[in-house]
Amino acid sequence: MLLRTARSLTTSPWDAEDLLQTALAQTYLAWDRIEDPRALDGYVRRALLNTRTSQWRKRRVDEYAAGDDLPEPAPVPGPDPAEHQAMRDAMWRAVLRLPERQRAMVVLRYYEDLSEAQTAAVLGVSVGTVKSAVSRALAKLREDTGLGALAQAA
């Protein structure tokens, strides 16, 4: 019965056996102070709980981080803001070269973040028309910006 209590307080059966042995040793040391032998079971249970709580509080951390000893993380190279802006400008110029209907669909789909159904409703066309026109527009944009070669290389 006591071993079951110890197992409920620990994560492994071996730790439970060690915990019970420690609690029984503490009980043995306090044997003279226990007046009622019927309270012995409760005393051992309380010793189990107190011992486990003490172990938990004394748990050690193997490594401590010291401020000066920590290595600096390697900087993650981010995209160059100038390059990013140049790419956005080139993309927008390519969008402006699209036919008016394709340009409207691309702007609604990708700049306004509308779904295909919403884009079709705004323009008064079918969803299939939006899909095919956007597909052709994206192919043209890949050609104009040179992203098609990059996509095929990757």
Mind spelling out the 3-state secondary structure of 72-123? CCCCCCCCCHHHHHHHHHHHHHHHHCCCHHHHHHHHHHHHCCCCHHHHHHHH
The C-alpha angle 102, 128, 113, rounded to 5 degrees, equals 55
Helix, strand counts (H, E) of the chain: 8, 0
C-alpha dihedral, 141 to 147 to 148 to 151, nearest 10°: -140
> 108 or 37: which carries more pLDDT confidence?
108
What percent of the chain is modeled with pLDDT above 70? 86
**What pLDDT sits at residue 153?**
39
How deeply is 128 buried, as exposed, middle or buried, from its count of CB atoms within 10 A (0-12, 13-18, 19+)?
Answer: exposed
Helix/strand/coil for 30: coil
Q: Is the pLDDT of residue 59 over 90?
A: no
Whole-number Å distance between alpha carbons of 61 and 75: 29
**pLDDT tens, position by position, 81-136:** 898 888 888 888 889 999 999 999 999 998 889 999 999 999 999 999 999 999 99
Q: Is the pLDDT of residue 142 over 90?
A: no
Whole-number Å distance between alpha carbons of 5 and 43: 13
CA nearest to 56, candidates 100, 106, 9, 107: 9
CA nearest to 31, candidates 50, 44, 19, 49: 44
Q: Is the pLDDT of residue 67 over 70?
A: no
Q: For residues 16-44, give the mean pLDDT.
A: 86
Q: Is the pLDDT of residue 46 over 60?
A: yes
* Domain edges within the chain: 2-57, 91-153
**What pLDDT sits at residue 150?**
43
Q: What dotted CATH number matches 91-153?
A: 1.10.10.10
